[in-house]
Amino acid sequence: MTTCSERFLSYDDICKRPAFDQNYEISPDNFHKLIGKYSFKERHICQVRTNKGICYQKHNNGWLGVSQEGVEALIGCDCAVNYFSAHDDFIREKNRVNDELDRKEAFEKMSLLLEKKLETASYIVDLEKTAKEVEGKVSEIYNTFPNEVLSFLYDAQRTNNWDVFIDVQKFKTVEDENGESFTQESWVKSKLGKVSTISPSMDLKRLLDNVTDLRKFYNSFATVRPDDLADIKTPKLKKQVKRLGLKDEYAQLIVKYNEEVSAFLKESNMEFLIYVCDSNKEQFLTTQALMRLSGLKAAHSTYIDKRLKSIKDKMEKLFGGDYIRKSVR
């Protein structure tokens, strides 16, 4: 594969070129061709001369052009649009450079993947294995908790509100109009805590399907050699590189979901879910679920009742020992 177009990431690299002159002025009238594109972290002065004068605006991105005199100069991205968009030679050169750079970069990326074929294949297989493990944990969560907890999770995902509110029972002594004292009950709404987020199970299933598809797709490259890439047209090559590049995106998602699951499965987090339940039965089932998810025995109701009571005692201590219930407001 041969190509003459270049991508410049450093202004110093351009300054080292013998034909480059930072004081030269390039214009649509003296434009000849393009060497390549530049993308700098810092901004540098555009060298385009128009009938309105020299640009002198600083740009991060643009083109390295060549005049009819053979001198190289910077064409900033804005000036390329404003003053060269109707220039036939510039348009042809821009398309040529883009095509050559697209192919060159796709070729280099695919060549690197093929050079590390076994490493890449092993990496994707490990991704699929980890994705299965995380998806399995998430499925277990959704299959273990009772309906009222699931309703809370679905609502929280929809509204992005994971707060758990409770009503605290309060008593105070008051006097009636006859001066007789009596005890008056009231309920004060308070925030108990915030449940750690957990993504919908469908998101994990979709990710697992995507990783599995990627593994199958990469397996199709088992017989491809670097020399074979020359026969693959640029659009297809770019598409293949883009698809294989998804492995890093999938890896980041797997880490994210795994961290979510670890935080959600902490006992101190799951205990909040007792107070999203309306009935004693649902509280019992929720306690049973969190015990199972924590790896504890939850086969006998005595153990479950004991654990539920300990959770309630723990939560009520946060409010001075007052009785608390799921907020009805």
Domains of the chain, residue spans: 6-111, 120-162+197-264
* Of 275, 276, 323, 283, the residue nearest 307 (C-alpha): 283
pLDDT tens track, the chain, 329 positions: 445 799 999 999 999 999 999 999 999 999 999 999 999 999 999 999 887 778 878 899 999 999 999 999 999 998 888 888 878 999 999 999 999 999 999 988 888 888 888 898 999 999 999 999 999 999 999 999 999 999 999 999 999 999 999 999 998 877 777 777 778 888 999 999 999 999 999 999 999 999 999 999 988 876 777 788 888 888 988 998 899 889 999 999 999 999 999 999 999 999 999 999 999 999 999 999 999 999 988 778 999 999 999 999 999 999 999 999 999 87
Write the DSSP symbol of residue 275.
Answer: G
CA distance linking residue 122 with residue 71, whole number of Å: 50
CA distance linking residue 152 with residue 321, whole number of Å: 26
CB of 312 within 8 A of CB of 274? Answer: yes
Alpha helical stretches, state H, the chain: 11-15, 77-84, 88-115, 117-144, 147-159, 201-219, 234-244, 246-264, 267-270, 280-293, 301-317
CA distance linking residue 284 with residue 62, whole number of Å: 66
CA distance linking residue 254 with residue 256, whole number of Å: 5
The structure tokens 């001369």 sit at: 49
